[in-house]
Amino acid sequence: MPPTLETVRPIKLTEIRGARTRIARTIVRTPLIRLELGPDFPDIRLKLENLQPINSYKLRGAANAVAMLSELDRKRGVWTISAGNAGQGVAYAAREAGVPCTVVVIETAPESKIERMRALGAKLIPVPYDLAWKALEERSYPGAEGTFVHPFDDHNFIAGHGTMGLEILEDVPETAAVIASIGGGGLITGVASAIKALRPAMKIFGVEPETAAPAALSFKKGSPQVFKDFKQSFVDGAGGQSMFPRMWERMKPVVDDYIVVTLDETKKAMRLMAEKARIISEGAGALPVAAGLSGKAGKGPIVVVSGGNIDMKKFCELIGASAS
């Protein structure tokens, strides 16, 4: 039976600012650059979270969550569930804090992510996708011990992600919209919570792949939905089988709309980022660029968050296929 959970509450600006101070020595304050596409395209800016030590924004949330553990919880160790990015974030933060770490990892995760988690000292428990999703709901898995750090439905984890929102407004105050990929919803909730507190009129868009878009479906239906046509794809860091009711409650007040993009559009965005900015992006990192190029988020400036955890062989295959 799932443990009793604290009531969902808004992420306060003071909590995000506190997280910023708390994680400053662990994370990189990543640059925000323009994707030079010419006057016929939307003005897209890239928040380069692929430059974090683990090549993903997840380090922000993980560092804040681990830093806020009690001494007793640190001794017990931590564990999480991940397709790779959250696992790397928690493993990195745990290693920095001298805390044992276990990751229940989806067995189809890219080998590069699996090897990185192992190199960071995490104990790995490979499981099928369906079992991992079930464990996320139950917050337990046989053999995983210690304090569970949920990879998206964790207040402190989300507050850590919110630090990006502060940086975006400082670096590009004229931003008109922000687009963020949705896996569980922690990234967009954190960033949107910071931005809506300071600039309520700014538009926040979530994006998902066509093969796994429960948030967009939930927005259309007005309640958390199961995505019955779910299919796994190379976009392993975004999308899901269903919208968790608690995360839907978090996202509703701060996200304005949702965009769904095709896998082909995502591949083309990966190739475009490589050609125009020499950036290696994973599928989930390219989703927001594809959404921005669709024109559905306006002319900009549009800020998107990029991540870069992908096997190089797979990356080359995908961008090669996008050229044909």
pLDDT in tens, 297-318: 999 899 998 777 777 888 888 8
pLDDT per residue as tens digits for the range 174-210:
999 999 999 989 999 999 999 999 999 999 999 999 9
**Would you state the pLDDT for residue 112?**
81
Percent of the chain past pLDDT 70, that is, above it, reads: 98
98 lies in some domain: yes
1 lies in some domain: no
| Tally of domains within the chain | 2
CB-count burial class (<10 Å; 0-12, 13-18, 19+) for 145 = middle
Q: Within a 13 Å sphere around the CA of 210, how many CA atoms are in the beta-carbon half?
A: 9
pLDDT per residue as tens digits for the range 4-24:
788 899 999 999 999 999 999
- Which among 120, 155, 190 is the end of a domain? 155
- Which among 155, 189, 206 is the end of a domain? 155
Buried b (16+ CB within 10 A) or exposed e, 166-182: bbbbebbeebbbbbbbb
pLDDT per residue as tens digits for the range 71-91:
999 889 999 998 878 899 999
Tell whether 50 and 63 lie within a shared domain. Answer: no
Strand pairing category for 44-48 and 302-306: parallel
Give residue 185's domain range.
Answer: 14-57+162-322
Q: Which of 261, 255, 268 shows the shortest CA–CA distance to 296? A: 261
Tell whether 47 and 124 lie within a shared domain. Answer: no
Rounding to the nearest 10 degrees, give the CA dihedral for residues 185, 146, 1, 104.
Answer: 60
Tell whether 224 and 314 lie within a shared domain. Answer: yes
5 lies in some domain: no
Tell whether 140 and 183 lie within a shared domain. Answer: no
Tell whether 83 and 36 lie within a shared domain. Answer: no
Tell whether 86 and 149 lie within a shared domain. Answer: yes
Tell whether 83 and 134 lie within a shared domain. Answer: yes
Mean pLDDT of the chain: 92
Could you tell me the pLDDT band of residue 2, with boundaries at 50, 70 and 90? low
- Which among 138, 155, 172 is the end of a domain? 155
**Would you state the pLDDT for residue 251?**
96
287/111: higher pLDDT? 287
Q: DSSP alpha helices (H): ranges in the chain?
A: 13-23, 58-67, 71-76, 85-97, 111-119, 129-138, 155-161, 163-171, 186-198, 214-221, 245-251, 263-277, 283-293, 312-322
Query: Does residue 50 contact residue 280 with C-beta atoms inside 8 Å?
Result: yes
Say if residue 301 is preceded by a cis peptide, omega within 30 of 0: yes
Whether pLDDT at 232 is above 90: no
Let me know the angle formed at the C-alpha of 9 by 8 and 10, rounded to the nearest 5 degrees: 135
